[in-house]
Amino acid sequence: MTETTTRDANAVIERVENDGTYVPTDEIEIDSMAALAEIETETEIETEPTHEGESTLVDLRLEVQVPIQSVDAVVVSPVVLAPPAELATLDARAISAWFGERKVLDRVSLTMESGMITALIGPSGCGKSTFLRILNRMHEMVPSASLAGEVLLDGVDIYDANRRLTDARRHIGMVFQKPNPFPAMSIYDNVVAGLRLTGTKAGRDAKDQLVEASLIKAGLWKEVRDRLRQPGGGLSGGQQQRLCIARSLAVRPRVLLMDEPCSALDPTSTRVIEETMLELAKEVTIVIVTHNMQQAQRVSDNCAFFLAAQGTPGGIVEQGPTEQIFGAPSDSRTADYVGGRFG
Ligand SMILES: Nc1ncnc2c1ncn2[C@@H]1O[C@H](COP(=O)(O)OP(=O)(O)O)[C@@H](O)[C@H]1O
Ligand SMILES: [Mg+2]
Q: Which ligand is closest in space to the CA of residue 102?
A: 1
Asked if 180 and 174 count as a contact pair (C-beta separation under 8 A), the reply is no
Among residues 217, 275, 222, the alpha carbon closest in space to that of 250 is found at: 217
130 Cβ closer than 6 Å to some ligand 1 atom = yes
Residue 81 has pLDDT above 70, yes or no: no
pLDDT at residue 83, as a whole number: 52
155-163 CB contacts, 8 Å cutoff, 24+ apart = 155/91
Bridge partners of 147, per DSSP, are 97
193 Cβ closer than 6 Å to some ligand 1 atom = no
129 Cβ closer than 6 Å to some ligand 1 atom = yes
Rounded distance between C-alpha atoms, residue 214 and residue 77, angstroms: 15
Asked if 71 and 13 count as a contact pair (C-beta separation under 8 A), the reply is yes
Burial of 325 per CB tally in 10 Å (0-12, 13-18, 19+): buried
Return the percentage of the chain with pLDDT > 70, whole number.
75
Q: Which ligand is closest in space to the CA of residue 126?
A: 1
Tell me what the mean pLDDT of segment 215-239 comes to: 96
98 Cβ closer than 6 Å to some ligand 1 atom = no
99 Cβ closer than 6 Å to some ligand 1 atom = yes
290 Cβ closer than 6 Å to some ligand 1 atom = no
Cα of 218 vs its chain's centroid, Å: 13
Q: Whose CA is nearest to atom 4 of ligand 1?
A: 99
Atom number in ligand 1 closest to CA 100:
4
pLDDT at residue 147, as a whole number: 97
pTM: 0.79
Residue 121 has pLDDT above 80, yes or no: yes
90-179+211-338: CATH architecture = 3-Layer(aba) Sandwich (3.40)
125 Cβ closer than 6 Å to some ligand 1 atom = yes
Rounded distance between C-alpha atoms, residue 106 and residue 95, angstroms: 7
Q: How confident is the model at residue 268 (pLDDT cuts 50, 70, 90)?
A: very high
Among residues 137, 177, 143, the alpha carbon closest in space to that of 157 is found at: 137
Rounded distance between C-alpha atoms, residue 240 and residue 39, angstroms: 18
Q: Separation of 99 CA from ligand 1 center, angstroms?
A: 8
Rounded distance between C-alpha atoms, residue 77 and residue 201, angstroms: 10
pLDDT, tens only, 297-328 = 999 999 999 999 999 999 999 999 999 999 99
pLDDT at residue 196, as a whole number: 75
pLDDT at residue 85, as a whole number: 65
Residues with CB under 5 A from ligand 2 (ion): 129
Helix axes 204-217, 187-196, angle to 10 degrees: 110
pLDDT, tens only, 48-59 = 333 333 232 222
Worst-scoring range by mean pLDDT, 29-38, 105-114, 259-268?
Answer: 29-38
Rounded to the nearest integer, the mean pLDDT of the chain is: 80
Cβ-based neighbour number of residue 323 at 10 Å:
13
Domain boundaries, given as residue ranges, for the chain = 90-179+211-338
Q: How confident is the model at residue 167 (pLDDT cuts 50, 70, 90)?
A: confident
Helix, strand or coil, per DSSP, at residue 340: coil
Worst-scoring range by mean pLDDT, 15-19, 132-136, 258-262, 331-335?
Answer: 15-19
Strands 12-16 and 22-23 come out as antiparallel
Amino acid residing at 41? T
**Which DSSP string corresponds to 77-121?**
-GGGGSPPPPP--EEEEEEEEEETTEEEEEEEEEEE-TT-EEEEE
